[in-house]
Copies of this chain bind each other. A is one copy, B any other.
Amino acid sequence: MTQEQMMAEINAILSDSRKKAHVDQIVPLLHGKWELQIMLEVCRADVLRFGEYKRRLPHITNSVLTAALRNLEKWGLVTRTQYNEIPPRVEYAPTEKGRSLLPVCYAIVKWGAENSLDDCPADL
């Protein structure tokens, strides 16, 4: 797909006010510090237990991870399954809608791998 085709499709979407309203709604997903990173991990692993997120995202605190997972569940992007075992086991898996975020994650990861935000002088 060429840049021109992408731009034409972007312009078509954004000129439709109903679709534009949907696009504007993704903003909270992008602005949460962790939500998109968690979605990427849940898609990579398919099913993850709470403790496994903690290992994969070592800088996150329990309360922040809980809040982010609750947001993703509320938005219909992950499902939460609790097993009544001792100790209790909680697993998160991507929904179909959550899995459909993969092209977004892919575009971001690919751009990030090929570019750097700090490789240019500040006085450019």
Q: B6, B7, B105: which contacts A10 (Cβ < 8 A)?
A: B105
Any chain B CB within 8 A of the CB of A40?
Answer: yes
- A119 closest partner in B (C-beta): B76
Q: Could you tell me the distance between the alpha carbons of A11 and B43 in the complex, rounded to whole angstroms? A: 11
**Binary contact readout A105-124 vs B (1 if CB under 8 angstroms, 0 otherwise):** 11111111111111110101
Residues on the B chain within 8 Å of A108, using CB: 23, 26, 30, 104, 107
Copies in the complex: 2
**Binary contact readout A83-101 vs B (1 if CB under 8 angstroms, 0 otherwise):** 0000000000000010111
Any chain B CB within 8 A of the CB of A58?
Answer: no
Q: Could you tell me the distance between the alpha carbons of A13 and B109 in the complex, rounded to whole angstroms? A: 7
User: In the complex the two chains form, is B111's CB within 8 Å of A103's CB?
Assistant: yes
Chain A residues within 8 Å of B, Cβ to Cβ: 3, 6-7, 9-11, 13-14, 16, 19, 22-31, 33, 36, 40, 43-44, 73-76, 97, 99-120, 122, 124
